[in-house]
Amino acid sequence: MAIEDRERIIIPDESGEEHLFEVLFTFDVDDTDDSYMVVVPVEQLEADEQEVFAFRFEEKEDDDLTLYQVESDQEWEMIEEMLNTFEAGELE
């Protein structure tokens, strides 16, 4: 997937202010049927260092997403492993 083909989503913060993010990749975990999304703020796309965010998500039938914060160390370890794979160019 070329960078210009990546999906962008709007995520509101705690105060309701909306922020535009680019989806780096998503992945599913077969054992738990959970889906995860890794995103970066659009304004940081060209920066040398980017702040990466990860969420567990559920997609509804009407294409509406519900995002959940990742809380367990096990989930973070899995996300970090996938991020390392992505950065190594092994994911598209």
Nearest residue to 67 (alpha-carbon basis) of 39, 41, 32, 87: 39
- pLDDT tens across the length of the chain (92 residues): 334 567 999 999 889 999 999 999 999 998 888 999 999 999 998 888 889 999 999 988 877 889 999 989 999 999 999 999 988 886 65
Neighbouring residues of 85: CB distance < 8 A, sequence distance ≥ 6: 91
**Containing structural domain, residue 51:** 3-87
What is the total count of domains within the chain?
A: 1
Q: Report if residue 92 sits inside a domain.
A: no
pLDDT at 9: 92
pTM of the model: 0.82
